Chain A
Amino acid sequence: KAGVTQTPRYLIKTRGQQVTLSCSPISGHRSVSWYQQTPGQGLQFLFEYFSETQRNKGNFPGRFSGRQFSNSRSEMNVSTLELGDSALYLCASSLGGAGNSPLHFGNGTRLTVT
């Protein structure tokens, strides 16, 4: 089975721009979660989508949004980019049912805001 695929791997944007990151989960996985990883704040939960609905949301401003499509692929959008948004963005997929199926992570998208 193919793993979790995140595109692009690297991205450089300018302050004020917006960006869209993509995540394709493992086949059969219906839950997609997003995490932000920075040297200062570590790994922080952004949000989780299951069956096209946002199920959980972390403590991030409204500039961070996401969506999930009917094939479970997910996109994350950050508008009005700030320097502090520079980070590694990790996507993880899981079966997502009532049980606690483990998360499978992708290789991440490295976003640099200049």
Chain B
Amino acid sequence: AQTVTQSQPEMSVQEAETVTLSCTYDTSENNYYLFWYKQPPSRQMILVIRQEAYKQQNATENRFSVNFQKAAKSFSLKISDSQLGDTAMYFCAFTITGSARQLTFGSGTQLTVLP
């Protein structure tokens, strides 16, 4: 079975600063995907970024980037130039290749961006 661990229940960051959210996972699979989703108060889960395990290059989407360490089973999210609209619950998620609709989620990190 796969597990995803987010050890930081809450974090805060000043507007325009950089913050890193941590995620570790455990799996015996070799082919998988990792995701970061955000859930603002509107409740809708929004995909922030995804990483394919076979790709060594870290994924980047504008101000969001990941540090994917496959051997260490670590998948952290870095948010640069934090904005007030980044305030949300952030979930790390995992899925086996070919089973993309069955995600295993971490417990989440509540990020608050302070003005």
Binding site for B on A (CB under 8 A): 31, 33, 35, 42-45, 48, 55-56, 58, 88, 90, 92, 94, 96, 98-108, 110
Task: Assess the A98–B105 pair: CB atoms within 8 A.
Answer: no
Verify if B113 is at the interface (C-beta below 8 Å from A).
no
CB-based nearest B residue for A9: B43
Q: Please give, as numbers and ranges, the residues of chain B lying within 8 Å of A96 by CB-CB distance.
A: 101
Compute the total of residue contacts between A and B using a CB distance below 8 Å: 59
Given contacts A43-B91, A100-B95, A100-B97, contact A108 B103 (CB under 8 A): no
Pairwise interchain contact B101-A94, C-beta atoms closer than 8 A: yes
When chains A and B are docked, how far (Å) is the Cα of A114 from the Cα of B3?
Answer: 32
Whether A56 touches B102, Cβ cut-off 8 Å, given contacts A43-B91, A108-B43, A108-B44, is yes
Q: Is the CB of B44 within 8 A of A94?
A: no
Q: Is the Cβ of A106 less than 8 Å from the Cβ of B44? A: yes
A-B contact pairs, 25 of them (CB 8 A): A31-B101, A33-B101, A42-B107, A42-B108, A43-B103, A43-B105, A44-B105, A48-B101, A48-B102, A56-B101, A58-B102, A90-B45, A92-B45, A98-B98, A99-B100, A100-B33, A100-B95, A101-B100, A102-B50, A103-B45, A103-B100, A103-B101, A103-B103, A106-B44, A107-B44
Instruction: State how many angstroms separate the Cβ of A110 from the closest Cβ of chain B.
Output: 8
Query: For window 33-74 of chain B, which residues contact chain A by CB distance below 8 Å?
Result: 33, 35, 37, 42-47, 50
Chain B residues, Cβ within 8 Å of A107? 42-44
**Chain B residue with Cβ nearest A48:** B101
Nearest-CB distance from B13 to chain A (Å)? Answer: 23
A97 (CB) vs chain B CBs: closest residue: B100
Cα of A102 to Cα of B105 in the assembled complex, Å: 15
